[in-house]
Each structure stands twice: as C-alpha cells, then as structure tokens.
Chains A and B, each alone.
Chain A
C-alpha cells in the first residue's frame, strides 16, 4: 500500500498544480508526540467531560499517523487484532429481531457529551442508535441517506442468509476494521455504541427476507 501511495504522490506532483492533495502519502509519526501533547492541553478536564475518549488505542494510532493508509504489514496487524476483539451474543444467535434493528439503524442518538449540549439523560435511557443513515442508504423508503459507505438497500436479497453471510454481516457491523483496516466506519460493537444483541438485531434488519431493506 505504501509503495502504491508513493507512486500516487509522484503522479500527483507531476500532473497537478495544487500538489497538496489528500491522496499524497502522509506520515505524522515524527510529530505525533507533539500532536498528543497539544490535544492534552486543548481539552480541559471538567464537569461533563470524558477525557478518556481522547486516548487512542493501537488501531486508532496507526490509522492516524498513516492518514488511513497503513502499510501492508500494519493493515494485517489491525485486521488480526480487530478480529480477536469481536464478541458475540450469549445466545449465539446472530440474527436478532429485525424490527428492533430497524429502529437502531435510523437512530443517530447517543454519546454526545460536553457542557453545552450533552445528550439528555432521560433520552439516554432509550440507548444509543447505530447512525447507519449518516453514511449508508438502507431502506428504500428513507431518502435522507449519506454516501460515505456503499448502499445497503437490498443487502440481503442477493446474498441470502447462509451461515457465512450472517456471520460476516454481524462481524462487519460489530467491528468494521476486522475486514478493512482504517475503514471510516466506526467499530460500532467494539466501541460500545451498540451491544452484541443490538448488532444481531441490525444484522437481521439487513438480511431478513421480510425486512423493508429487501422489498
């Protein structure tokens, strides 16, 4: 991946006048300790703050200093580590309740903090949403869908519901980086946004033949 990047950089420099494109190989390893120190200084402790969220795990660190273009070896390391991080519902059932999955898919609520507008405590009891529409088209009925991820409309129609498909879908939603290192998709189960059971509900929403996704 790194060599490909270098090539891309050479091409960019040769043909573009901006020379400052996002696909140029970036590496912040040298200045990373300064970036960390700056972050520590810029997010003061206080009521309603959770500074632990600024602490990076190994995967976040690698993806940051490489600007999401890890070397081949780093990518393999991330995928292996994130695969191990996947947890499953105690029942072992990876296809949950698609109706609950539908609600979780469209809700973007949860985990916002700070002094100005933290998520209201009363609403927090309803739990977090999966925020899928921020990045994906899902149900054909919902038009307000983002495009950062591929369309999931009709997701189950052509894939069927074989054990492999169910397992892949569950694991992908639980921890996107178990398949794509430095993916822009949040590690929704691993980061504690949704529980294993909730991820299984969304899996059912994407795959069930009765789900609106597949009509």
Chain B
C-alpha cells in the first residue's frame, strides 16, 4: 500500500506547510529543532544514525516502517510516539497526542515519503 497523503483540502495543504515550519522551529534549552538532527545525510547522535527528512529514500524507509516493534521498549509503537521521544530529548514539554502540531509533523513527513510502499510488520531499536 503506497503512502498517498491527500492534499485536496486547503487544511491538509496547510498542515503540511505548518508541519515543515514546526520541523525547523528551534526551541528549548538545547536550541534544537527536528531539523537539527534530521535534515542532513550521514549524521549520527553518538552511534545512532539519523534519518534525513529531505532524502527521499531515507525518509521513505522510515515512514513506511511504522508502526514498529521497538526492541528497546518491548512494545509496538507508532511514529507519533517516536516523535514524542525526540521531543523529550529536545528538553521540551510533552506534545499532546493528536494535537495539531503532532499531526502537522506527521503530515509533513508523510508528504516527504509520498508513494513509499508500506513495509510492515517491522522491528526497530
């Protein structure tokens, strides 16, 4: 099943645009934005490889692999949970599940992975 984010409604288009804006928004004690870690090829935090949201192949691999079995959690988690985790590492307060911000980020990332074929079940760290 390919990822086909709909853009027929103006609000859907807006969510993608705002999601990209939020992706670059720097805030918190570490001055981090999502883009600090996820907008260049070949980057690592310690030994963990970081997906580049602007590398089509890379982001497609990521977005088609969720929900996933997270070995480090012993549970199946969704992408939103992974973003919450990143958000926590950014030293930010909790982003609400299902909030406009969380949905906008997912809308943007899904758009970047457009046409990628869903590749589940999967397993990640």
Give CA–CA (A22, B26) in the complex, Å.
16
Q: A42-B96, A60-B27 are in contact. List 5 more A-B contacts (CB 8 A).
A: A48-B93, A56-B27, A63-B26, A134-B45, A148-B45
Nearest residue (CB) in B for A142 is B46
**Cβ contacts under 8 Å, B20 to chain A:** 26, 28
B1 within 8 A of A: no
Docked-complex contact A114 and B94, CB < 8 angstroms: yes
Give CA–CA (A56, B54) in the complex, Å.
25
Give CA–CA (A64, B101) in the complex, Å.
16
**Contact mask A1-24 → B, CB, 8 Å, 1/0?**
000000000000000001011100
**CB proximity to B under 8 Å, residues A20-58:** 20-22, 26, 28, 31-32, 34-35, 38-39, 41-44, 46, 48-51, 53-56
User: Number of contacts between A and B (CB, 8 Å)?
Assistant: 144
B62 within 8 A of A: no
Docked-complex contact B26 and A64, CB < 8 angstroms: yes
Give CA–CA (A146, B42) in the complex, Å.
10
Docked-complex contact A18 and B56, CB < 8 angstroms: yes
A123 within 8 A of B: no
A31-B17, A64-B26, A186-B29 given; A42·B92 CB < 8 A: no
Give CA–CA (A164, B113) in the complex, Å.
48
Nearest residue (CB) in A for B91 is A111
**Cβ contacts under 8 Å, B44 to chain A:** 146-148
A134-B45, A186-B31, A187-B31 given; A43·B94 CB < 8 A: yes
Classify chain A: how many residues form its interface, as a range.
35 or more
Docked-complex contact B88 and A51, CB < 8 angstroms: no
**Contact mask B9-42 → A, CB, 8 Å, 1/0?**
0000010011011101111111111011101101
A67-B35, A186-B29 given; A31·B93 CB < 8 A: no
**Cβ contacts under 8 Å, A133 to chain B:** 46
B65 within 8 A of A: no
Nearest-Cβ distance from residue A189 to partner chain B, whole angstroms: 12
**Cβ contacts under 8 Å, B99 to chain A:** 41-43
Task: List the interface of chain A (C-beta within 8 A of B).
Answer: 18, 20-22, 26, 28, 31-32, 34-35, 38-39, 41-44, 46, 48-51, 53-56, 60, 63-65, 67-68, 111-117, 131, 133-135, 144-148, 184, 186-187, 191-193
Docked-complex contact B100 and A38, CB < 8 angstroms: yes
**Cβ contacts under 8 Å, A48 to chain B:** 93-94
**Which residue, of B30, B31, B92, has the highest number of chain A Cβ atoms within 10 A?**
B31
**Which residue, of B28, B53, B54, has the highest number of chain A Cβ atoms within 10 A?**
B28
Docked-complex contact B30 and A54, CB < 8 angstroms: no
Docked-complex contact A35 and B46, CB < 8 angstroms: no
- In the A-B complex, the 3 residue pairs with the smallest Cβ-Cβ separation, listed nearest first, are A42-B101, A42-B99, A22-B54
Give CA–CA (A112, B86) in the complex, Å.
11
Docked-complex contact A22 and B39, CB < 8 angstroms: yes
**Cβ contacts under 8 Å, B31 to chain A:** 60, 63, 186-187, 191
Give CA–CA (A55, B31) in the complex, Å.
11
**Cβ contacts under 8 Å, A20 to chain B:** 54, 56, 112
**Which residue, of A42, A48, A64, A135, has the highest number of chain B Cβ atoms within 10 A?**
A42
